[in-house]
Structure 1
Amino acid sequence: MTVAPLPKASRRGLAQEAADLIREAIFTGHFPPGAQLREVELAASLGVSRGSVREGLALLEREGLVHSVWHRGTTVVDVTAQDVEEVYALRAALDRLAATSAQRNATADQLTELDTLVRAMAQEISGDASGTTLLALDIAFHDRIYDAANNRRLVEAWRAVRSQIYLFQLRRIALGYEHYRARVVDEHRELVTLLRADDRETLARRAEEHVDSARCSLLAGLSPSM
């Protein structure tokens, strides 16, 4: 029996590429929370069809990054106090497990990579650092901790909320950059030190406190009406 070969898969679809580019535009602040995302304009800007944009926006909606309403279009999600409480409560639990798992499983190379990211943060702060650059390093740091935890389902849980966390942290920086700038290096350096130590309880507590600091900072900046 002769079986016909399957067609070769393309590297990735245009919808995924559109989602990646729109996500990056959101993360760099081009589209702030609450901004309208218009399919026609996005399609022209990205050089793809409206259908690809529509599918890309659907992918971002599943990430919790945008919100679509029939006949009202799609907007970047806004940040409410309830959103903050829910997302950061979940992140605190995930980060605690990720940190304690990484403490057991991280290799020397993975810990060195975390050191490198902390040094990059410090170098950015010593110069004319932008909030978006620091945040990219911050999120990359936590990506590496989740990788070092060596727990596939935990990584999947992190990826499910990662985009929302990124957006919420952008909002935090916009509302209180100096608070973020003053803490980002020391807090991450302490986490690396604790990952190398043999004190699981302190590491777990500090991982949760790191998230709670971000939560409190963001809530303080939100207006009472939110």
Structure 2
Amino acid sequence: MEPLQKAARRGLAEEAADRVRDAIFAGHFPPGAPLREVELAASLEVSRGSVREGLALLTREGLVRGGWHRPTTVVEVTAVDVEEVYSVRAALDRLAARTARARSTVDDLAALDDLVSALSSAVGSGADGPRLLALDIAFHDRVYAAAGNRRLTEAWEAVRSQVFLFQLQRVSLGGSQYRSHVVAEHRELAALIRDGDAAELDRVAADHVDSARSRLLAEL
């Protein structure tokens, strides 16, 4: 019985983390917003302990900050954070794109095309920022999956939540610019992964991240 009890508690903590993460990505908790255990526990209908453990998971993801006798808040996006996260992302994305070019299957390529089409439709219909970002990140998730390198995917997942949050801040500060570039940039990446020049793919993958970094820094 003891192992089952531990698994149940762990499951509730992960569910709490998932739901708070979703709320952050939906823009309900902007950067700097407080995350109060009592209110979250009541809203999620779980114990404060489960919420506390869930928030600890999100802290390890870099989404929230807190400490002893300090309030827990959604991280605020600073220039230093942007430089660090996007420099790591640039290195990972370049490797993922190059590896996906060599290993991607017909299904992988079709999935990337479908996500570009979904992005185009979402932009055309005026979808909100979180919806566009969900498709944007899903595209990159698929590139990493196509690369087929488990450790590379784990490295991406270590910064993925912060990338989403930072991109959400970028969209909230300069949404029209993001909308005007997002489809063309991902369409170009998909085409180069399919049959493009390796050096050109490497350059475009790096530029994709660098332009996002530069635009966000300019808006902060």
Shorter-chain TM-score: which interval? over 0.9
Q: 2:152 aligns with which of 151, 154, 171?
A: 154
TM-score, structure 1 as length reference:
0.93
Tell me, in whole angstroms, the C-alpha distance in 2 between the residues paired with 1:178 and 1:67.
30
Aligned equivalent of 2:203: 205
State percent identity of aligned pairs: 66
Aligned equivalent of 1:39: 37
Aligned equivalent of 2:101: 103
After TM superposition, give the deviation of residue 153 of structure 1 in Å.
0.3
Range moving further from structure 2, 55-64 or 65-74: 65-74
Aligned equivalent of 1:93: 91
SS of 1:48's partner is coil
The Cα offsets for residues 72-106 of structure 1, whole Å up to 9 and x where unpaired, read as 22000000001000000000000000000000000
The Cα offsets for residues 162-183 of structure 1, whole Å up to 9 and x where unpaired, read as 0000000000001100110000
Aligned equivalent of 2:141: 143
1:1-226 equivalence runs, <5 A: 13-222=11-220
Amino acid at match of 1:40: V
The answer to which structure has the higher helix fraction is 2
The Cα offsets for residues 93-134 of structure 1, whole Å up to 9 and x where unpaired, read as 000000000000000111000000000111111112211111
After TM superposition, give the deviation of residue 11 of structure 1 in Å.
10
Amino acid at match of 2:30: P
After TM superposition, give the deviation of residue 12 of structure 1 in Å.
6.1
SS of 1:20's partner is helix
> Structure 1 pair 217/7, CA: closer, same or farther in 2 (3 Å)?
closer
Range moving further from structure 2, 119-128 or 158-167: 119-128
SS of 2:72's partner is strand
SS of 2:62's partner is coil
TM-score, structure 2 as length reference:
0.96
Tell me, in whole angstroms, the C-alpha distance in 1 between the residues paired with 2:43 and 2:196.
52
Name the count of aligned residue pairs. Answer: 217
Tell me, in whole angstroms, the C-alpha distance in 2 between the residues paired with 1:7 and 1:59.
20
Tell me, in whole angstroms, the C-alpha distance in 2 between the residues paired with 1:198 and 1:212.
20
Aligned equivalent of 1:3: none
> Structure 1 pair 176/48, CA: closer, same or farther in 2 (3 Å)?
same
After TM superposition, give the deviation of residue 10 of structure 1 in Å.
5.4
SS of 1:36's partner is coil
**Bigger radius of gyration among the two:** 1
The Cα offsets for residues 156-213 of structure 1, whole Å up to 9 and x where unpaired, read as 0000000000000000001100110000000000001101124111001100000001
8 Å contact 2:9–2:50 — kept in the other structure?
A: no
Amino acid at match of 1:75: T
Tell me, in whole angstroms, the C-alpha distance in 2 between the residues paired with 1:91 and 1:7.
38
